[in-house]
Chain A
Amino acid sequence: MTDLSHWAHDTRPRFRMRPPSFSLPVPAGLPERLRPLLAWVVPALLLVAWWSVTQVHLVPEQILPAPAIVVRAFSALIASGDLQSNLLISLNRVGYGFGAGALAGLGFGAAMGFSDGFARLVRPTFLIIAQVPVLAWLPFLMLLLGIGEALKIVLVAKSVFVPVTLSTTAGIRSVPARWLELARVLRFSRWKTLCRVILPAALPQLFGGLRYGLTHAWMALVVVELLASYEGIGYLMIYSRQLFQLDVMVAIMLVIGAVGLLFDRVLALGEAWLARRYGGAA
């Protein structure tokens, strides 16, 4: 019943349509090389706007600190080592949670993909668990596990587990029956069928699930650190919020964004590589 297409929304290929007649086309003479430069226009404008607003004291500094102050806060964070140590803690949590969740999701998803009986048995339960969002699990798990390390890792793992399971099952199910038939005709062993036929065909979907899972993992970790933590990047943010240190907050927010962007880019590169290597599967 549950439509699973929603977790795949940004893995679809992008088709460029021809601009309609009334649109403002990109100037025809513009070389392709300049396009990446255009991407920086808006951020640069925003920066200038930010700078000038603070320069003329349009808004009080407690509400919007000047860029220079944020940079100073940022270097102070690095100099004191606070940023590195807390970021390391957060990344560790994401690492363990993601690892546990992805492994469990791969195993569970594979079991559901290969065995109809198992799928029929556990699918309803799985969907019930999946329907309750990570955030709703939070108070429950806080009562069960306290607010220690286990809470964060379990919560991150849960946020990874669901999309990875779904995409693994879908990936295995999407292997064309003809291919499996061919493997049978060629008398491939089970192991060889798995490595040579099923994995390559399921890999793109599978990887999409991992990528989506990592995005969710980062989001889940930030929430749990905002709510129930005494260290980590999210805690650093909520702490500076309490002290009304907006400069520190802005700096940390940029770091959180940068880490998210980095995760996404790295996995997108992996995805593109896989698509090239195993392109045309399914």
Chain B
Amino acid sequence: MAWVTWRQHRVALAGVVALFGAAAAYLLVTGLPIHDAYAAVAGCRPTGSDLCNKVVNDFLRTYAPGVGVTFGLLQAIPALIGAFAGAPLLAREFETGTFRYAWTQGFGRTRWTVAKLVPLAVAVTIASAAFSLLVSWYVQPIIDAGDNNGPLYPTLFDLSGVALAAWTLAALAIGLFAGILVRRVVPAMFATIASWAALAFVTGAFLRAHYLAPVVTSNTNIPTGAWIINQGWFKGGNPASLDLINQTFAPVDVRALTPDLFQPGPATPANLGDPVQYLIQHGLTHWTTYQPAGRFWTFQWIEGGWLIALSLILIAATVWLVRRRAA
């Protein structure tokens, strides 16, 4: 049966390897210069001086945006694997009618399905786990340099740690399940991509922020690398509008262009100091809801855990449907 799985799905397996291989090559080629540049930044002395801070900021301004774009593109990888390796596995058998051959052989349909599913799932998990190691290496200088987008930042979080392997396995499981439900290859592929994308969006936008109760603070100094979920000015428990902020600033002629951007005017006193502190002294509070960077691994295990549970449930459901699915 190993030969059967290999011969029938070697294209899918090769595709998975090629996809990760191409992405890995890209990360290596663009990552080595970043590491070289960071070596200079890390060696800057005295640390914390204005000069060295400027060196760090220059480094981040040069490289961080590109890294962000790269990660945006890499988000597609699990969905592509789920759609191209997972969905056709069962859907094609129905579309071409070959299940009428495969499921009437002595081997039996359940063993046949499991003997194909398991190697594919294992291969995909191993490949994505290896790739996420490379992702961590790639982004390390940016994180070490203290970029505001810490390790919990959505597009980075689901490519590193165990999350990438869990998301890829989940995409495969969704693909397999879609394949047996929809029973046509191209519609199953679309269904896979759509479902996976919806799940990833809901997780990143809503679910992940609440794995542990976020830290809420009125301190305006937020730890480096924290994932800021919400931030804003409040007065007496209610959100303060931009107008209210401007009203508060009126005596010192400072204009608030946005809740974070303050512009002093000609009549601003010279000894005003930090406009932020001025607002605080005049009855406004700055509340920030965030998840600290230190919770990275906790969140990784939580997310990885429920994704793997979901994958196992979908795979079990797929096998169950194979057993009872009629001609």
Partners in one complex: no
